A and B are shown apart, each in its own frame.
Chain A
Amino acid sequence: MEKIIGIDLGTFNSCVAIVDAGSPQVIANRGGYKTTPSMVAITESGKRIVGHMAKRQAVTNAENTVYAAKRLIGRKYDSAQVRATRATVPYSIVEGPNGDVRLSLRETLYSIPEVSAMLLQELKLVAEEYLGHEVKKAVVTVPAYFNDNQRQATKDAGTIAGLEIIRIINEPTAAALSYGFGKNIDRTVAVYDLGGGTFDVSILEISSNGVFRVVSTAGDSFLGGEDFDQSIIDWLVEGFRDEHDIDLRRDRMALQRLKDAAEKAKTELSTLEETEINLPFIISMGGNEALHLQRSLTRAELEEMTYDLIDRTIAICEHTLDEAGFDKSEIDDLILVGGMTRMPAVQRAVTDWLGKPPCKGVHPDEVVALGAAIQGAALLGQLDQDEEMVLLDVTPHTLGIMVKGGYIEGLIPLNTAVPTSRAKRFTTVRDGQTTVRILVFQGDEPEAKDNELLGEFELTGLRSAPAGEVEVEVTFEINADGIVSVYAKDLDTGKAQSITVTASSGLSAEELKRMTRAAEDYAVAQKLDEEAKQAKQRAEETIASIERLYPEVESLLAGSDFAKEALERASEIIGEARSAIDRGDLAKMKETIDALDRARRMVLGLLGRSA
């Protein structure tokens, strides 16, 4: 049976899971951790390192270590969010060829999907090592509030990583799935997911026959633990400036250390009332002088700094519940997801809002990946019959087109169940008009400019006729991944109109192809590297074991021609192996390993022993 994995590609941490013999489980990585930091770094030698290894070297290689790439995925370079991120991260963000974002790491430009692909590849590898065979398919989660561009970019990451993402599902939905899986319950649940970078809330109905229906969903794809950290960093930086008149932000290494310290303090304050932030030698003053940073922070102070963030999440919850048309009292269960929900103030705020404590026994770091794995198994028909389930999800944003005056006309309202489609007729407004231009937006603001532009296209080659006579029917479609497509049909001729598409962001087809190939090449190179390393080790070990026998052979068989000849032959082979090692010649190394083994047996034979 073909295995499919579920991946929670988080801002901070990622996690991979499978359904094994009917039961969903998370797969631990090589270090034994169930989550892998979503960090990627490029080393001096141009090597990529991912996860815990990348995290460990972040301070010393801050400029070439990427974290929180998810905050940038599918966004345009000139967006407010990218601007905000540029101001706070130590790695360098530049504009890409399509108005998208690229990262400049050791003089090479990487797109965000490429960086995400490195993470996906790592998780794929974790799963493959556990399963002992290749994995080709995955279900990947995204924040419910992700728009089409962000979803598409995530899919691209899968393509680059050589993973077929057969479905993208929403993180809170996945959490609910894993919560309700196999329980046969009839419940209405609220999922509150506050992670490292994004916030989502969803209201779902779970039915005992295995149907999970999202009633409404909302969120903020730029609100998460990062912002809590940022509040602490701001407080530290300002304090330092007041005291020393120095802006720590200008030093990338200092910034990375501040970030680590802020996150650590925040996490500690979930269990402690007070904590120390201690950063000696935070900045050098020239000569042998350096300044230190040392402050203490209490839980109450942290809550004071961040209450507005928490308030924002509660306002969104309120709105979602309203959209769902439910009363607070109608919500049976509250599910908390995401590392940030360990913060006592967050738990308190949500509990107060709903008047209900959260469910126990939900692992906030693992439920999302588990849900993704369950959905994957369900789609491929790999679940037990009494556990078969269907997910009915909704689109989180209104899909619309720009009309006169720069306003949006909604075509598919938010919280519409997907898959869905709507058709709209366009007519010419001028005599002799032969083209119609259509701009497609996603978002819930009345003015077009405040929403996400998904694309624009032009219907061309229309019959020249008086205004209003030629009609074109355009079909807008949102598939189960939440991804949008548009088709057009010329009602005048009855023929399908080919529409000219202008990419507004993300990767072009050629770029995607090139990146996919590059990732493959890298994987091959890495595999060869790994093999070379192993071959070298094997060869060296064998050489050492042969050489260890020399004195014994000499003392036992001194003078015998036979022994001399054998030792000469062995030395010859060793020489060849050494030169292959020095040259890094993998094929030759492999060849000499066999020869070395034979030589070793030969020498052992001289001693009357067997291998």
Chain B
Amino acid sequence: MEELIADLDANSMLKRAGEVSDLDLTHAALLSLVEGEVELGSIALQMGLPVDEAIEIAATLIQKGALVLASPPSDSRDTGAGSSSGKSDDERRVPLRESKETTADEGEEEIELDPLRRALVDSTYEALKSASLYEILELSPDADAREIRDAYFRLSKLFHPDTLYGKRLGAYREKMETIFREMTAAYEVLSRRKRRAEYDERLGEERLAALRKRMLGSIDAPSAPQKKRQLDVEARRRLAARRLRGGLSTGVRAGARSVDGPSRPRSGGAQGDGLGKLGDARDAAQALLRSIDSRNPRNTPVDAIARRAARAEEEERYEEALNHWLAIERLEPDWPGLEEKLDELRAIVTRASLAEYRTLAAAHLRAGRLREAALVYQRICTGAPDDVEAHLTTASIFRRMEPPDLRSARDYAQRAQQLDPGRVSIRILLVRIYADAGMKHNAIRYLDELLRDHPEDLDAQALRRELIGAKP
């Protein structure tokens, strides 16, 4: 390690070598900046790190086999030609090619995509399933033309597969293509005044219809969820039929969940999906209920709220139910079973929001808004108290943000360690947090424990040298 560090300087050229797991955020961030051959100095600049620190991180990555030195510093480089070009496409194509089944079975292909970008693609791809056209472009429904255009162009540069031309992307290529296709479809609707108006109208209609149906359903058959669900299926079938008629070519199913006709609004969030719209629908429902209640003075407030809460829960609008119960808590804290109910609903709600939070967190990270990312990650950890990765990431973010929140970082790292006591990277992170906090003795003590368990671990060894060396 020491030799490695001695070998590296700001002019060193780095190149990707292989995939490694077990990276903390800083390592992953550095790795994500290496595309083709990159000068270490420029990476340090981009990360806002002192060169020494970048050297150290790079050395770790080299040791882990994630990076290699592209060529000795200050050497002229004309050797690296053709290092990462894609598979040569010499298969002969007559106008129509034979089935490509083989590509699916090629098995474990090494993927040249850094962990951060992977996470971004994954979360965006997942979010597509239930997102509205606005959400796909990360826009609010009142975005103006300029914002829509900017968003589309910004995101295209992030997700168009050409930005990773020649890289082995495995399944990520298709995911990126799908994301790009969906974004383009969204842009094509939202960027045309007429089509956007049509879409907005339909989106509104569908929401309203879903809402009305929910209200009616609960009055008609309050205790027959089975039947109600049946109804939903019927309604959805009708809706689907309408969409198809509105679409261009009825028989055509777009690729992976792609838009198949012009201006097709996404589902109005009738069920637990479409979290963004769920919120809107919920607000509307509450408003409606409020107005009904105000016209009906016979209801005692708490009874009415409890009924509403029950109805909301039955219809799987858990967040709304939770809000109702919170209101009850304020009015009648002794309501029987309140405590348990609240716990149960809290758990359900956070779990349901996790996917949304992850997308949000990815967006914050992408934009470099660490503080916001940390807040969101905290909520993710609440919702997923057993998720090691989430805790580890949260801790890293707390440590990295400006100014760092080392206490929170330590708490989350400790929780992560509880969950996965053996993982070295977590323990190293803890040591670093202690060191950052100026608790050098603690840090070294922890580190020594770690070294006792893993005397061979290079990172730990390096860290120890660093800590000892840093001592005056």
Show the binding face of A for B, using Cβ within 8 Å: 1-2, 148-149, 152, 164, 205, 207, 209-211, 213, 325, 378-381, 388, 390-392, 409-411, 413, 417, 419-425, 440, 454-457, 475, 480, 483-489, 495-499, 501, 503-506, 508-509, 512
- Is B162 part of the contact surface with A, judged by Cβ < 8 Å? yes
Of chain A, the residue at the smallest CB distance from B101 is: A496
| Sample of 24 A–B contacts (CB below 8 Å) | A1-B78, A211-B153, A378-B162, A379-B166, A409-B249, A410-B249, A411-B249, A417-B180, A419-B161, A421-B258, A422-B254, A422-B258, A423-B254, A424-B252, A425-B253, A454-B95, A485-B96, A485-B100, A486-B97, A497-B99, A498-B98, A499-B98, A506-B94, A508-B94
The reply to whether A417 and B181 contact each other, CB–CB distance below 8 Å, is: yes
Partner of B99 from A325, A392, A487 at Cβ < 8 Å: A487
The reply to whether A209 and B255 contact each other, CB–CB distance below 8 Å, is: no
Report A-chain residues with C-beta under 8 Å of the C-beta of B157: 209-211, 388, 390
Show the binding face of B for A, using Cβ within 8 Å: 35-36, 77-78, 80-82, 88, 92-101, 149-150, 153-154, 156-157, 160-163, 165-166, 177, 180-181, 184, 192, 248-249, 251-255, 258, 260
Partner of B92 from A325, A390, A509 at Cβ < 8 Å: A509
Of chain B, the residue at the smallest CB distance from A392 is: B156
The reply to whether A417 and B184 contact each other, CB–CB distance below 8 Å, is: yes
Report A-chain residues with C-beta under 8 Å of the C-beta of B81: 1-2
Q: Do A213 and B253 form a contact, CB below 8 Å, given A379-B165, A485-B97, A486-B96? A: no
For the complex, give the distance between the alpha carbons of A419 and B174 in Å. 10
Report A-chain residues with C-beta under 8 Å of the C-beta of B92: 509, 512
What is the total of A-B residue contacts with beta carbons within 8 Å? 133
Interface centre among B82, B93, B149 (most CB of A within 10 A): B93
Partner of A487 from B77, B100, B248, B251 at Cβ < 8 Å: B100
The reply to whether B94 and A455 contact each other, CB–CB distance below 8 Å, is: yes
Please give 13 more A-B residue pairs, beta carbons under 8 A apart, in addition to A381-B36, A501-B96: A2-B82, A211-B153, A213-B156, A381-B35, A388-B163, A390-B163, A409-B251, A410-B249, A411-B252, A455-B95, A456-B96, A496-B99, A503-B95
For the complex, give the distance between the alpha carbons of A36 and B254 in Å. 44
Report A-chain residues with C-beta under 8 Å of the C-beta of B253: 422-425
The reply to whether B95 and A504 contact each other, CB–CB distance below 8 Å, is: yes
For the complex, give the distance between the alpha carbons of A496 and B254 in Å. 19
The reply to whether B156 and A211 contact each other, CB–CB distance below 8 Å, is: yes
Q: Do A420 and B255 form a contact, CB below 8 Å, given A379-B162, A413-B248? A: yes
For the complex, give the distance between the alpha carbons of A504 and B156 in Å. 36
- Label chain A's interface by main secondary structure: strand
For the complex, give the distance between the alpha carbons of A149 and B177 in Å. 24
The 3 closest A-B pairs by CB, nearest first: A496-B101, A455-B95, A509-B92
Of chain B, the residue at the smallest CB distance from A375 is: B162
Interface centre among B80, B99, B258 (most CB of A within 10 A): B99
The reply to whether A391 and B162 contact each other, CB–CB distance below 8 Å, is: yes
The reply to whether A213 and B165 contact each other, CB–CB distance below 8 Å, is: no
How many whole Å from B194's CB to the nearest CB in chain A? Answer: 8
The reply to whether B100 and A392 contact each other, CB–CB distance below 8 Å, is: no
The reply to whether A205 and B149 contact each other, CB–CB distance below 8 Å, is: yes
Report A-chain residues with C-beta under 8 Å of the C-beta of B180: 417, 419
For the complex, give the distance between the alpha carbons of A391 and B180 in Å. 12
How many whole Å from A414's CB to the nearest CB in chain B? Answer: 12
The reply to whether A209 and B96 contact each other, CB–CB distance below 8 Å, is: no
Report B-chain residues with C-beta under 8 Å of the C-beta of A409: 249, 251
Of chain A, the residue at the smallest CB distance from B165 is: A379
Report A-chain residues with C-beta under 8 Å of the C-beta of B88: 164
Report B-chain residues with C-beta under 8 Å of the C-beta of A480: 161-162
Report B-chain residues with C-beta under 8 Å of the C-beta of A456: 96
Report B-chain residues with C-beta under 8 Å of the C-beta of A378: 162
The reply to whether A501 and B254 contact each other, CB–CB distance below 8 Å, is: no
Report B-chain residues with C-beta under 8 Å of the C-beta of A417: 180-181, 184
For the complex, give the distance between the alpha carbons of A392 and B188 in Å. 13
Report A-chain residues with C-beta under 8 Å of the C-beta of B82: 2
Of chain A, the residue at the smallest CB distance from B99 is: A496
How many whole Å from A522's CB to the nearest CB in chain B? Answer: 21
For the complex, give the distance between the alpha carbons of A419 and B161 in Å. 9
